[in-house]
Amino acid sequence: MAVKDRILVLGPTGAIGRHIVWASLKAGNPTFILVRDTPASVNKPRLVTAANPETREELIQSFQNSGVTLIQVDAFISSLLTSLGSGIRSI
């Protein structure tokens, strides 16, 4: 049996990231999501509700219920990871 790739998805609650997470799970890959630890009081604009009916929290919970591993980081770590992009083999 071939070893499955471990997949880390940055921005898993966005318009594209959510589909990447579900595709990775469907392919049977161990899937990890990196999300920022944002205060609940921050109101972020949402995409069209018809296309994305769940809230960010509901979507993350749904991912976790499906076997996704959550990695939660603060804003500093998030910006640091973004700056390391040149050393990443594939995204």
Instruction: Give the pLDDT confidence score for residue 21 in this predicted structure.
Output: 96
For residue range 44-77, what is the model confidence (pLDDT) as tens digits?
555 555 556 688 889 999 999 999 999 888 766 6
Look at residue 3 and tell me whether its pLDDT is greater than 50.
yes
Does residue 77 or residue 84 have the better pLDDT?
77
Instruction: Give the pLDDT confidence score for residue 86 in this predicted structure.
Output: 54
Q: Is the dihedral of CA 48, 52, 56, 57 positive or negative?
A: positive
Structure tokens at 62: 């749904």
Q: What is the mean pLDDT of residues 28-37?
A: 90
